[in-house]
Structures are given as C-alpha cells and as structure tokens.
Chains A and B, each alone.
Chain A
Amino acid sequence: MHIVVCIKQVPDSAQIRVHPVTNTIMRQGVPTIINPYDLYALEEALRLRDQHGGEVTVLTMGPPNAEDTLRKALTFGADRAVLLTDRFFAGSDTLATSFALSSAIAKVAQVYGAPDIVFTGKQTIDGDTAQVGPGIAKRLKLLQLTYVSRIADLDLAGRTISVERRSEGGVQQLRTTLPALITMLEGTNDMRRGTMKDALRAARAEVVIWSAKDAGIEDLTKCGLRGSPTVVKRVFAPGPRAEKAEMIEITPAARDTADSLLDAIFSRQPKLEADIAAAQAAL
C-alpha cells in the first residue's frame, strides 16, 4: 500500500504577529511548524502503514526551508519526503495549490507507485479554507472523505475503506472504494514519538526536491499568482471591544459584594432587572 500525506509548513500561530498597518501576517522571523491538523493525517497514515504494510510519502509545497518540516515528518516515521519548490508557485491560492499538489502526486505515482490513499489535514491554520484537499480529490478523480474522525476499516483486497465522518448533528458512517482522499479531523489521534531508528534515518535522509518542471508541470499559467483567481481585497482587524472590564471590590460582607455585582449587571441590563422584579411580583 502507498499513502501520500500532504502537509504544509505554517507559521507558529502561538508566536505570530500582525503588521500594524497592512494587517497582514508577519511571517518573517516567526518559527514554523507543521500545520497541526496535518499531524492527525500523518499519524493516521502511519497507523495504516503499520497495520497493513506499505509506505508513507509526505509531500509539501513551499519555500526551500520547508525541508525542515519534511525532515520532522520523517522523524515521526514517514518513509519518504518530497518537497515541491519553485518560484513559479509563489502566491498560490487554493486553486493553484491543488493544481500543483495534484500534479506532484501524479508524478509521485509514476516514480514511487500509485497511492491508494491521499491524506490531508482538515484545513490549515494560516489559510483556514479547507479547500485544497477536496481540490486535489477533484483533479485526481479520487473519492473524497472529508472531516473524517475515525477510520473503521480498510480492506485492501476488496479495495474499500470505511470511515466515520463528523457532520452537523451526528456521525456519518461512510464506505467508498480506493483510491480515496481523506481529510482528517483534529483530535482523532495522538502523534507518536518516532523511534531512535526513525530519528537516525530522518537525520540522514535525502529529501526529494522537485521544481515545477521536475513534477511534470508544463502549464505554468495555472501556478502561483497567475493561476490564482482569488484576490484578497482587504484585510482588516476586528475593532477593539468598546467596553473595558469593570473591577468590583470584594468587601468583607459577602452580601455587599453580591449587591455591587448585581448593580453592575442591572445597570447594563435594565430589562433583566425589570423582568426579575416582575417575576417576583407575580409570585
């Protein structure tokens, strides 16, 4: 079995800053991490490989330093890492990204064998669109299972996979045929800690680096800024909350504290006070 996991290098949101004037994310100097949602996809892929045998290839598109991200994925236990990097990819929106990634997956299929499953995370923490996974599925004509919370069964001989998918108001049990694309929900598993062997292998592994040409992409108009119809018209920060928190002094008498608390509430919600008074009167 061959599984391809698409991951993305994202700025560590815990340490991110927004430019005060342009409101854009300041990426420079911010440490990068693997998109946290992708880790659930990677762990799920590694589990399937451990159960059923085969290989896991991690794939990312990004700047040259995204190699660090891939090496980390190797430390967790992935078998192979492919970095798709080229200046033609700069400025890609989700349409251009899914084009580039699906082209690369097609190339991976040629070189390392066709994948039975392609995994992505639910979405990324920097873009939040959740469009790239389905975009890849559409382009590669893979059956897609999004927001998957559990993989119930994988039948390699019968070429079927059964999953649970979280949806509004419940859980759907779905079964489809392979090859399929799965976007994995957060909180579904815990990323393992790679063994010493994995760590050693990752430290020495060569990350496969492909340019657009290497990945067999000929139509560069579908890449990067040129291939991205999405235009960010305006970025703005939500206005600060008008009201500041009010400090209420604690007095030795609990009743006084309660009274001043109620005063503070009722001065803002006069209707609430009236309603309670009316309810009491009715009693």
Chain B
Amino acid sequence: MIEEKFDAIVVGAGMSGNAAAYTLAKRGLKVLQLERGEYAGSKNVQGAIMYASMLEQIIPDFREDAPLERHIVEQRFWMMDGHSHSGMHYRSDEFNSDNPNRYTIIRAQFDKWFSRKVRDAGVTVLTETTATELVYDTGGKVIGVRTDRRDGEIRADVVVLAEGVNGLLGTRAGLRETPKPETVALAVKEMHFLPEEVIEQRFNLRGAEGCVIEAAGTFTRGMTGLAFIYTNKECVSVGLGCLVSDYSKTMESPYELLEAFKQHPSVRGLLAGSEVKEYAAHLIPEGGYKAIPKLYGDGWVVVGDAAQLNNAIHREGSNLAMTSGRIAADAIFQVKSRRDAMTAENLSLYKKMLDDSFVIKDLKKYKDMPALLHTQSQNFFLTYPELVSKAAQNFLHVDGTPKLEKEKATSAAFIKARSRLGLVSDALKFAFAWR
C-alpha cells in the first residue's frame, strides 16, 4: 500500500473525470487520477460534438489552445427510407460568432489536451493503471482503491467514479447495476478522410465552419437508433447506434447497418473517394432519467456516463459528463472546506446541486421518452419514415391528379398504416413524453 494519502481519487480520464480532477485541483485539493488507457483519450470514443458553454465553466479560455475541429453553423435532421430523405435544416451565419457554441472534436486529441490541463492544474495522473476494487473501512465507507499495479492500494477521502458507461469498479462493488441491454445503445463509427477543400465543397462550408447531420429512419430496420455525419477538419465521422436489446432481438449487426447507411444515395456522395482510417465502437447510456443509479454514498460519487447521464433525445452526453464532474468537484470542495467528512449525508450535496442543474432537469423532462421510443420502435423508425417519404413524393410528383385527391391519398396511407386511434395516440404519447 502507498502511505501517501490524497484528498480525492478520480477514476477515469474522460470528459467527466477530467472535469472533476481539474476542478478539484484548481480548488486546491490533492488529486490522483487513474486511467487504464495508455494516455488519456486512448480509450475514449465519441461522435463527437463538444458544447462550449459547459467547457467554458471549467476552462474559460479553452479556445486558445484546445484542438477543435470545426464550429457548427448548420444542422440537418433527416428522416430516411431506403432511397430518400426528408429533412429539416437550420443554418445561420450567426453561428460564426467569436465564441461559437458547438464544435466537432476528435476525442483522442481533445482528451490529450484536456489531460495536459489537468496535469498542469496539479493533478497526479497515472495512465496504464486500472482501478480494480474499492477499498472500504470497517464502517463500510470507501477509503480508496486497489489497482492492478504491484503494491497498488491507495487511499483518499473520496473516490470520484468517472469510469464510463461500462465501469466495472462501481458495478463490481454493487453501487449500481450492470447496464441493461434496454438502456444502452451500441454505436459504431468510422473516420473518413477527405481533403479539407472537398469537405468544404460538399457541405457548403468556409474555413472552420462545420455541418452535422443526424438521421433516423428505415436504415435501423425498425430498431431504436440514429445515425450521424459530422464534419471535422480533414475527415468526416460517420456512425450509427441502436439499442443493444434491439440488436439481440433482430440479430442485425451494427457494422452491416453502417455499411448500408453509407451506401444510401443521400449519403454515398458525401463520402465518395474517402479513406477510412479509424473504426471505433462504444456503448452509450440511453436509459435516461429512470436509469440513473444512486449518485453518491459514503466516500464516493459517480459522474458522467457511469451515472447514465446522457440525453439521448438531444444527442448530448459529454456536456452532461463535464457538468456532473464539475458539480461533483464543487460539492466535494464545499464539504472539504467545511472540514466535514465525506459521508453519504454530506455528499448528498452533489445530488442536490445536480438536481438544480440542466443535467437532471433535462433528463427529467424526457423521462418517458426512452420507454416510448423503445416499445414503439417499429412505428417511429420504420412506418413513419416510409409514410413521410411517400407523402413528400405524392406532394412533389405532378401528374394531373387533383391536389385534394392527393392529400386524401396521403392521409389514407397514414390511417391505413397506423389507424386513426394509433395516430392520435402516437401523437399524444409523443407530446406527453416531450413535455
């Protein structure tokens, strides 16, 4: 065992872990951070879009040296069937401000930068070191971790579990359940390299402008899932994810779905001539509010993906991760500065602060959405995209049929597919879940 004791041990060097470690060190605490990968970011996978406001609250001047790919000026939502997409676009030159709100990033590079900041803030960062077990005192309070290094037991007043969606430490210790297949998505993504100017031409971008496309439709073959296309500086990230429980039901494999998505006529041209240099897969917590485990206990708190803090509806994860890490650090700092012990009672401050933040408020807002989308995935991801596509075809195809008849045909198609009651009930359920 190591004699030296820390104020806090942060397990994991992803967004939440780095945010927590950085904030704790900036508040003057003595922090040890453990990362199993060769370097911070080596194991981390994300689409990835980074939200500036949440990082600004941690590192206000991050724009000076953080490796950012493109700031997003255009967002497209596509609803797709096999040969078409209908969509909604929003593009605004106002996104070209001095302080843009959203950026695409490449996590391996971004996390290296973040980790450097964490180190510079005074955190002792150990890579290639896996925390294997929590260490308890006789009263059941967490007092440190055991690692896979020789003589690798180390103590701290509090352990911040930032170990990601599949974090073994917390599940092994029984602090939370293993994620259920219904509450995690398996996403795969590829990095398609293209010359900068080709990306700019294809997506109508200038300089550091970026465009993102999010898509839902028949390409998930009735499963609950989404696909995305994000522009980076010199590559385009293309990915797709569906619920694990859906894969097991349909026996579809994610990479085959991604292959098919890439061959879709609306997508193919955007990627033509590119070279794939990276392939990655990751689990995404999608259980929403109802899947959030206990967030704190005697001597520990849990943050980020490990706490299932991910807003699947808005495709937001890393900002919830960063914010939960920062808030956990603030709570720990407050307890520490009152010279109180890191008991469950005192650390409940973290949950209170998190409840007051957008993190829990947003997740609460959509608490019924996962259940709705998961149980009705056939309707939302197969039937409706096809109906919408047919409606658009019908609307745009000019053949001398009177418009009124066309509209009747469209509504008849909707009613035939879902029945009047079904349509009304879907709309109401969706409205309630969104509310």
Contact = CB atoms under 8 A, between A and B. Distances in A.
Interface of A: 75, 193-197, 199-200, 203-204
A175 to B, nearest CB: 34
A29 to B, nearest CB: 10
Contacts of B150: 193, 195-196
Given A199-B129, A200-B2, A200-B4, A194 B149 contact: yes
Contacts of B2: 196-197, 200
A193 B124 contact: no
17 contacts: A75-B128, A193-B149, A194-B149, A195-B149, A195-B151, A195-B152, A196-B149, A196-B151, A196-B153, A196-B154, A199-B129, A200-B4, A200-B124, A200-B126, A203-B125, A203-B126, A204-B124
B126 A199 contact: yes
B147 interface: yes
Contacts of A197: 2, 151
Nearest to B34: A199
Interface in B1-43: 2, 4
Contacts of A194: 149
Interface in B127-160: 128-129, 147, 149-154
A196 B124 contact: no
Interface residues of B, number: 14
Contacts of B153: 196
Nearest to B4: A200
Nearest to A71: B127
Interface string B217-228: 000000000000
Q: Across the A-B interface, give the 10 residue pairs with the lowest CB-CB distance, nearest first.
A: A196-B152, A195-B150, A196-B149, A199-B126, A203-B124, A195-B151, A196-B151, A196-B2, A203-B126, A195-B149
Interface of B: 2, 4, 124-126, 128-129, 147, 149-154
Interface of A is mostly: helix
Contacts of B149: 193-196, 199
Nearest to B146: A196
Contacts of A195: 149-152
Nearest to B2: A196
Contacts of A203: 124-126
Contacts of A199: 126, 128-129, 149
B276 to A, nearest CB: 14
Given A196-B2, A197-B151, A203-B124, 15 more contacts: A194-B149, A195-B149, A195-B151, A196-B150, A196-B151, A196-B152, A196-B154, A197-B2, A199-B126, A199-B129, A199-B149, A200-B2, A200-B126, A203-B125, A204-B124
Of A75, A194, A196, chain B has the most CB atoms within 10 Å of the CB of: A196
A143 B307 CA distance: 60
Contacts of A200: 2, 4, 124, 126
A179 B132 CA distance: 44
Contacts of B125: 203
Contacts of B129: 196, 199
B128 A196 contact: no
Nearest to A204: B124
Contacts of B128: 75, 199
Contacts of A196: 2, 129, 147, 149-154
A128 B153 CA distance: 41
Nearest to B152: A196
A194 B125 CA distance: 15
Nearest to A75: B128
B125 to A, nearest CB: 6
A197 B129 CA distance: 12
A281 B429 CA distance: 87
Nearest to A33: B38
A78 to B, nearest CB: 16
A75 B4 CA distance: 18
A197 B4 CA distance: 10
B128 to A, nearest CB: 7
Nearest to B124: A203
A75 B125 CA distance: 12
Nearest to A195: B150
Nearest to B1: A196
Nearest to A15: B277
Nearest to A17: B277
A204 B31 CA distance: 12
A196 B129 CA distance: 9
A112 B129 CA distance: 31
B147 to A, nearest CB: 6
Of B2, B147, B153, B154, chain A has the most CB atoms within 10 Å of the CB of: B2
Nearest to B126: A199
Of B124, B149, B152, chain A has the most CB atoms within 10 Å of the CB of: B149
Contacts of B124: 200, 203-204
Nearest to B119: A203
Contacts of A193: 149-150
A199 B151 CA distance: 11
A75 B147 CA distance: 15
Contacts of A204: 124
B112 to A, nearest CB: 10
A77 B2 CA distance: 16
Of A75, A199, A200, A204, chain B has the most CB atoms within 10 Å of the CB of: A199
A39 to B, nearest CB: 14
A32 to B, nearest CB: 11
A195 B2 CA distance: 10
A172 B124 CA distance: 47
Nearest to A198: B149
A232 to B, nearest CB: 28
A250 to B, nearest CB: 27
A61 B2 CA distance: 33
A193 B129 CA distance: 10
A240 B230 CA distance: 37
A197 B153 CA distance: 10
A206 to B, nearest CB: 13
A102 to B, nearest CB: 32
B140 to A, nearest CB: 24
B195 to A, nearest CB: 14
A238 B154 CA distance: 53
A203 to B, nearest CB: 5
A154 B150 CA distance: 27
A73 B159 CA distance: 28
A281 B150 CA distance: 70
